[in-house]
């Protein structure tokens, strides 16, 4: 994050704490896509990601009075989104999982008009396989993987975000990668070694 964004965030947060709804709306607009993308990666479905992103911003709004000055706003709200997603997954695990529905494949969003039908089919099949492999990961492994692969966080940042030792982060990331590699071996044309 650029220093100017942090300064802007600080001003917007102070205004939002004083009841300025437009200031908070500016924060939402700035981070809504990143929070949505994280929730989508955690849940694998657009409707769930929409709900969780909205829930994240509502929770953050009501917790704004407890926001500590000097804290990075995005790191704070990302933690709220991650906790909401993990709670959702715990509840969902007890329920019957929904089957694959059209529109639930996050990879389908990135289609190219220059692709041949065969390339599009291959990409969609690959996207579905990746989505299925991610959904099969336990939530604690998926969280570490998403923070590293999607958010691009360093091990130390993931450690702080999740409240885990760096060694645990590294171990979980390694296990997540192994499981994904094993799950995707056939799709990627590799034999499971």
CATH number at residue 158: 1.10.10.10
Give whole-number Cα distances, 64 to 67, 71, 95, in Å.
5, 12, 33
User: 112: domain range?
Assistant: 105-193
CATH of the domain at 21: 1.10.1740.10
- Phi and psi at residue 67, to the nearest 5°: -65, 125
Summarised one tens digit per residue, pLDDT across range 97-155 is 444 444 444 444 444 455 555 555 556 777 778 778 888 899 999 999 999 988 889 99
Residues 192 and 151 in one domain: yes
E strand or H helix that includes residue 185: none
Distance CA 41, CA 85 (A): 10
Number of domain units in the chain: 2
Full-prediction pTM beyond 0.85?
Answer: no
pLDDT, averaged across the chain: 83
Of 53, 80, 98, the last residue of a domain is 98
pLDDT value at residue 90: 85
- Write down the pLDDT at residue 23: 95
112 with 129, same domain: the answer is: yes
Domain final residue pick, 47, 63, 98: 98
Distance (Å, whole) CA 161 – CA 4? 23
């Amino acid at each position: 994050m650029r220093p100017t964004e942090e300064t802007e965030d600080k001003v917007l947060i102070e205004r939002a704490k004083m009841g300025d709804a437009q200031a908070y709306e500016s924060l939402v607009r700035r981070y809504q896509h990143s929070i949505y993308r994280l929730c989508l990666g955690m849940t694998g479905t657009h409707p769930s990601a929409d709900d969780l992103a909205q829930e994240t911003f509502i929770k953050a709004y009501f917790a704004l009075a407890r926001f500590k000055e000097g804290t990075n706003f995005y790191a704070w709200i990302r933690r709220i989104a991650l906790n909401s997603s993990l709670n959702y997954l715990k509840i969902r695990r007890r329920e019957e999982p929904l089957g694959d529905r059209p529109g639930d494949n996050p990879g389908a969003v990135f289609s190219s008009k220059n692709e041949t039908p065969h390339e599009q089919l291959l990409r969609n099949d690959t996207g579905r396989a990746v989505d299925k492999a991610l959904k099969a990961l336990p939530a604690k492994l998926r969280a570490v993987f998403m923070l590293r692969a999607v958010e691009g966080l360093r091990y130390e940042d993931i450690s702080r975000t999740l409240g885990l030792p760096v060694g645990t982060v590294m171990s979980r990331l390694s296990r997540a990668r192994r499981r994904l590699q094993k799950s995707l071996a056939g799709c990627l044309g590799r034999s499971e070694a």
